[in-house]
């Protein structure tokens, strides 16, 4: 993987995943016997370190003490309905797939029946029960097997649901109780090979079930990378990126997924949707390729794609800058975008997010403690920064040494003109890498009656503060409406910059202690925040997609004629609704 210290100790890593929670079994946050938070395992730079400031920070921000012995008990024996019988289909499938690639095991079916939407899917699967569970799980290994599988599903009246890395956060994998047909989850994880590398044209043909970590590992062995690094990179798949129209943290250099993918193959019940040629660009009328991006499992199985690849950069360098406040940081980001010298990644966090990241640091000792004291004193006394207002930017520069050096000089000079103070490369790298481990925090806090959710949107440069202020106010209002305990945690960060605007990512936390109907409250809060985003002219989503979570808002962002056209397209590709997951406009 491009930048992560995945294995600091040299030990081999356990690649087994949590059944329902985020990530790998060897990694989790926990309170140790001394009451200090630590991250287990050896996977990340922060693994194995104690973070003595984090537990006090959580209690301070949420405005109440948390009893570490009072834990919300998970559902010890989740109810998994018996699979709906489809014996003829299964017998037919087992002539195409080996029997070990077909399963009706209850645990396997449950694991394939949800994504990672915090306060909806996960709450149900951990503390209640899912209403609908997949009836069968299958694992194809080739495009030809996928074709046969789809043909058999049509013949036997079966509903197919594509399953990639299971990291979706828009309820796209949530199965409808109204679906009366047997539901078969098509796990694409065995379609994880790099089929070919074209070094002259710098492209690779890759199966769609490959995860980001598998893809980068395979390509790096040959001296190449793709450069697409979403927060979920370790677990999410190429097919998932395409089906949700994903964005990565280094999109400034390598592009969003629609710029990275040159050719894509989707197998629908009516046949193969692709181009015969592979070209950097074509003017051949309406492009079927473009219809696959954001299709969210509604049209068929994405089986492979041709992606642009790049030589491993000569240098990767990190930097960080602290600004007096969030508005000053936003002004810096705008000027940086306008300058044309934009690094691979640049992200800006507000004050609360900055303090959150500081609370995840290990305790400083010796010279490190002295250094931090000097830095803090300098910010307050020399630069006259209020530590309760400051914001911070993390920067990743990649390319040739001369290119990176030029970017570093330019960014440093530009930051200085906005009163930015250099925070060092170590903090820059740490801020970038933190995103991979931070997802585990949600699952650590959940048993302590703390709910965590994220919301992302995009908006224009002149509307950033309106969106941020609207969402923060909505979080406060919803907290009061439901008489929630303590205070909410609501913070914002800018994760992507564009010519006309940005992506804003919100992190929201609150106590759910004492709620009689927590799921109803979660749903109301989710919709309330999304209403605030749309009312402030934010987009329905920048990169998470629509799924089922945001379906109710499509009429606000898409005309009825547009929706009808999409449904007619769906009927043309899948007249019997074999792919009946019902996401987006097809719900």
- Point out the residues that are catalytic: 505
Query: Is residue 187 part of an annotated ligand binding site?
Result: no
| SS3 track for 127-167 | HCCCCCCCCEEECCCCHHHHHHHHHHHHHHCCEEEEECCCC
Q: Is 405 annotated as a binding residue?
A: no
Rg (CA), the chain: 24
> Residue 345 belongs to what H/E stretch?
strand 345-349
237 is in an annotated binding site: yes
- Does the annotation flag 171 for ligand binding? no
Judge whether 325 and 452 are in contact, CB under 8 Å: no
Residue 297, annotated as binding a ligand? yes
Q: Is 301 annotated as a binding residue?
A: yes
CA distance 192 to 195: 9
Sorted by sequence, the CB contacts under 8 Å of residue 66 that are 6+ apart come out as 55, 58, 59, 448, 450
234 marked among binding-site residues: yes
Show contacts of 140-146: CB within 8 Å, 24+ apart.
140/97, 140/101, 140/186, 140/188, 140/190, 140/191, 140/301, 141/101, 141/190, 141/191, 142/191, 142/303, 143/265, 143/267, 143/303, 143/304, 145/96, 145/97, 146/186, 146/191, 146/267, 146/301, 146/303
Do the annotations mark residue 231 as ligand-binding?
Answer: yes
How far is residue 359's CA from residue 530's CA, in Å, rounded to a whole number? 28
Is 428 annotated as a binding-site member?
A: no
Determine if residue 299 is labeled as part of a ligand binding site. yes
Q: Is 296 annotated as a binding residue?
A: yes
Tell me if 235 is assigned to a ligand binding site: yes
Does 246 count as an annotated binding residue?
Answer: yes
Say if residue 31 carries a ligand binding annotation: no
Planar angle of CA 408, 220, 342, nearest 5 degrees: 25
103 is in an annotated binding site: no
On the CB side of 133, CA atoms within 13 Å amount to 21
Find out whether 187 and 112 touch, Cβ atoms under 8 Å. yes
Has 367 been labeled as part of a binding site?
A: no
Q: Does residue 120 sit in helix, strand or coil?
A: helix
Walk across the sheet containing 159-163 and list its strands.
102-103, 136-138, 183-187, 159-163
DSSP state letter for 463: G
- Looking at the DSSP assignment, which residues form a beta bridge with residue 458? 503
Is residue 442 marked as binding?
A: yes
Enter the tokens of residue 226: 């793709």
Contact indicator for 491, 506 with CB cutoff of 8 Å: yes
Strand partners, 136: 184
**3-state SS of 468-537?**
HHHHHHHHHHHHHHCCCCCCCEEEEEEEEECCCEEEEEEEEEEECCCCCCHHHHHHHHHHHHHHHHHHCC
Per the annotation, binding residues for substrate are 442
Residue list, annotated binding site = 231-237, 244-247, 296-302, 442
| Binding-site residue ranges for FAD | 231-237, 244-247, 296-302
């Amino acid at each position: 993987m491009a930048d992560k210290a995945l294995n600091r100790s040299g030990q081999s890593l356990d690649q087994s995943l949590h059944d329902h929670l985020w990530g790998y079994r060897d990694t989790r946050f926990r309170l140790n016997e001394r009451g200090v938070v630590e991250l287990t395992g050896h996977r990340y730079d922060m693994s194995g370190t104690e973070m003595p400031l984090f537990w006090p920070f959580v209690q301070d921000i949420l405005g109440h003490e948390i009893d570490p012995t009072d834990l919300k008990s998970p559902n010890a024996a989740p109810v998994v309905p018996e699979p709906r019988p489809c014996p003829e289909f299964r017998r037919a499938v087992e002539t195409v797939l080996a029997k070990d690639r077909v399963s009706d095991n209850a645990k396997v079916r449950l694991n394939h029946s949800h994504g990672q939407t915090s306060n909806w899917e996960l709450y149900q699967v951990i503390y209640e029960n899912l209403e609908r569970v997949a009836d069968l799980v299958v694992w194809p290994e080739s495009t030809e097997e996928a074709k046969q599988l789809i043909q058999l599903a049509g013949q036997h009246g079966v509903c197919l649901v594509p399953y990639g890395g299971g990291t979706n956060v828009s309820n796209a994998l949530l199965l409808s109780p109204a679906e009366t047909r047997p539901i078969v989850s098509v796990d694409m994880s065995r379609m994880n090979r790099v089929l070919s590398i074209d070094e002259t044209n710098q492209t690779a043909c890759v199966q769609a079930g490959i995860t980001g970590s598998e893809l980068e590992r395979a390509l790096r062995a040959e001296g190449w990378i793709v450069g697409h690094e979403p927060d979920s990179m370790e677990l999410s798949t190429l097919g998932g990126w395409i089906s949700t129209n994903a964005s990565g943290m280094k999109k400034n250099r390598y592009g969003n997924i629609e710029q990275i993918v040159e050719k894509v193959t989707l197998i629908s019940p009516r046949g193969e949707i692709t181009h015969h040629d592979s070209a950097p660009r074509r003017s051949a009328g309406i492009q079927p390729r473009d219809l696959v991006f954001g299709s969210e499992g509604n049209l068929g199985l994405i089986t492979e794609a041709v992606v642009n690849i790049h030589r491993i950069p000569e240098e990767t360098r990190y930097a960080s800058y602290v600004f007096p406040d969030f508005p000053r940081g936003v002004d810096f980001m705008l000027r940086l975008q306008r300058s044309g010298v934009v690094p691979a990644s640049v992200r800006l966090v507000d004050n609360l997010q900055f303090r959150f990241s500081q609370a995840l640091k290990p305790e400083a000792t010796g010279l490190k403690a002295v250094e931090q004291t000097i830095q803090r004193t300098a910010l307050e006394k020399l630069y006259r920064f209020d530590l309760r207002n400051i914001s911070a930017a993390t920067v990743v520069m990649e390319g040739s040494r001369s290119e990176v050096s030029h970017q570093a000089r330019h960014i440093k000079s530009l930051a200085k003109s906005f009163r930015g103070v250099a925070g060092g490369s170590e903090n820059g790298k740490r801020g970038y890498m933190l995103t991979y481990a931070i997802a585990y925090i949600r699952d650590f806090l959940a048993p302590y009656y703390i709910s965590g959710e994220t919301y992302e949107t995009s908006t224009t440069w002149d509307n950033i503060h309106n969106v941020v202020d609207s969402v923060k106010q909505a979080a406060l209002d919803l907290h009061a409406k439901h008489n929630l305990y303590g205070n909410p945690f609501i913070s914002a960060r800018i994760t992507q910059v564009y010519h006309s605007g940005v992506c804003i990512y919100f992190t929201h936390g609150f106590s759910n202690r004492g709620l009689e109907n927590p799921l109803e409250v979660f749903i109301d809060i989710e919709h309330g925040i999304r209403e605030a985003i749309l009312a402030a002219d934010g987009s329905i989503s920048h990169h998470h997609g629509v799924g089922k979570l945001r379906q109710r808002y499509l009429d606000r962002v898409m005309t009825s004629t547009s929706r009808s056209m999409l449904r007619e397209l769906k009927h043309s590709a899948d007249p019997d609704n074999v792919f009946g997951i019902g996401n987006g406009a097809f719900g």
